[in-house]
């Protein structure tokens, strides 16, 4: 086992990389699975090479694990060994020569503009938690931010005069993201009743609070989106991340530059943003057929 090394790696993910609790939990689980495999083989950390790792991946495939899951486990192992090399616990990263399984590329789920309008109108009562939900959903769609970024927003991060929010993204990188009039209206309506959540016993800093008056968790946001999906007429799988996909595809369909969308989403690579281009293929074909002289 490599308990000490794993604990230091998890602390590094949490405090230096600012990884989400979900990512940390997955990486820890994946690496504990590798540790168990090594223990069964009576191998130590320094015994691991690319042959051993391929044997571990073969066991995962034999168990019927999906390519996406195997790819995530390999990414966790690769990141862990990169950390081990920097700490001089091992001489090389054996995972760097192991190929990531070729992934299927499903189309990201997203809502049409009409579906989004209906979805955002679902929280309708004057209850403080409903006003919070309305503001939360409007902000997710208005900014395209991740759920982890949404729950990390504090009151001082919101600049109403400029309609900007300071977002703390992956790796503690900060960016300013604009929001529109509808999101502003919903935010102001929520802030007007925010102190009524839990009868005024609320934390001062977090923007979005749970019913106990504490900072909302990512899991709570997921449950909230699921609740409104069940109330809607939508019959397909929609997640909080679908609002991010919708944000990107709607901007693209209305002519926004891909690099602007990249900056708004907080993507380091343009290639990550380019997955949204195929979402708008129908619109591109319509424009082509109407515009090209020999179409």
Cβ neighbours of 86 (radius 10 Å):
10
Q: How far apart, in Å, are the Cα atoms of 87 and each of 90, 171, 232?
A: 8, 20, 51
Q: What are the chain's domains?
A: 3-97 (1.10.150.130), 113-287 (1.10.443.10)
Q: Which residues belong to the active site?
A: 146, 170, 241, 244, 267, 276
Cα–Cα distance measured from residue 167 to residue 176, given in angstroms and rounded to the nearest whole number:
6
Q: What pLDDT was estimated at residue 124?
A: 84
Q: What is the pLDDT of residue 258?
A: 76
Q: Which residues contact 169 (CB under 8 A, 6 or more apart)?
A: 146, 149, 175, 266
Go through 136-165 and write b for each residue having 16 or more CB atoms within 10 A of its CB, e for each that does not.
bbbbbbbbbbbbbbbbbbeeebbeeeebbb
The series of mean pLDDT values per 10 residues for the chain, 295 residues long, is: 85 88 90 89 86 89 86 90 91 87 67 89 89 95 91 95 89 86 95 86 87 91 89 78 86 80 77 60 56 51
- Residue 295 has a pLDDT of 41
Task: Write the burial class of residue 240 (CB in 10 Å: 0-12 exposed, 13-18 middle, 19+ buried).
Answer: buried
Query: Cα–Cα distances in Å, from 268 out to 150, 171, 172, 262?
Result: 19, 11, 13, 8
Position 221 scores a pLDDT of 92
Torsion on CA atoms 63, 66, 71, 76, rounded to nearest 10:
-60
Task: Report how far residue 237's alpha carbon sits from residue 226's, in angstroms, rounded to the nearest whole number.
Answer: 9
């Amino acid at each position: 086992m490599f308990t000490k090394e794993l604990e230091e790696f998890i602390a590094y993910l949490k405090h230096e990389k600012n990884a989400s609790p979900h990512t940390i939990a997955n990486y820890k689980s994946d690496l504990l699975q590798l540790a168990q495999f090594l223990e069964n083989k009576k191998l130590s950390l320094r015994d691991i090479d690319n042959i051993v790792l391929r044997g571990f991946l073969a066991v995962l495939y034999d168990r019927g694990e999906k390519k996406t899951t195997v790819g995530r486990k390999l990414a966790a192992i690769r990141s862990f060994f990169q950390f081990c090399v920097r700490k001089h616990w091992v001489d090389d990263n054996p995972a760097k020569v192991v190929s990531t399984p070729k992934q299927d590329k499903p189309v990201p789920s997203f809502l049409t503009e009409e579906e989004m309008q209906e979805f955002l109108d679902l929280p309708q009562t004057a209850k403080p938690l409903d006003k919070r939900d309305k503001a939360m959903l409007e902000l997710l769609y208005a900014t395209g931010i991740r759920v982890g970024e949404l729950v990390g927003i504090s009151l001082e991060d919101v600049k109403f005069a400029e309609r900007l929010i300071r977002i703390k993204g992956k790796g503690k990188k900060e960016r300013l993201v604009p929001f529109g009039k509808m999101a502003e209206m919903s935010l102001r309506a929520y802030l007007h009743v925010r102190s009524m959540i839990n009868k005024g016993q609320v934390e001062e800093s977090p923007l979005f609070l749970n019913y106990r008056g504490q900072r909302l968790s990512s899991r709570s946001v997921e449950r909230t989106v699921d609740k409104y999906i069940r109330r809607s007429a939508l019959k397909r799988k929609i997640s909080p991340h679908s609002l991010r996909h919708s944000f990107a595809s709607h901007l693209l369909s209305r002519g926004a530059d891909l690099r602007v969308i990249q900056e708004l989403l907080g993507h380091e690579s343009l290639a990550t943003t380019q997955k949204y281009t195929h979402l708008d293929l129908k619109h591109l074909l319509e424009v082509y057929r109407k515009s090209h002289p020999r179409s």
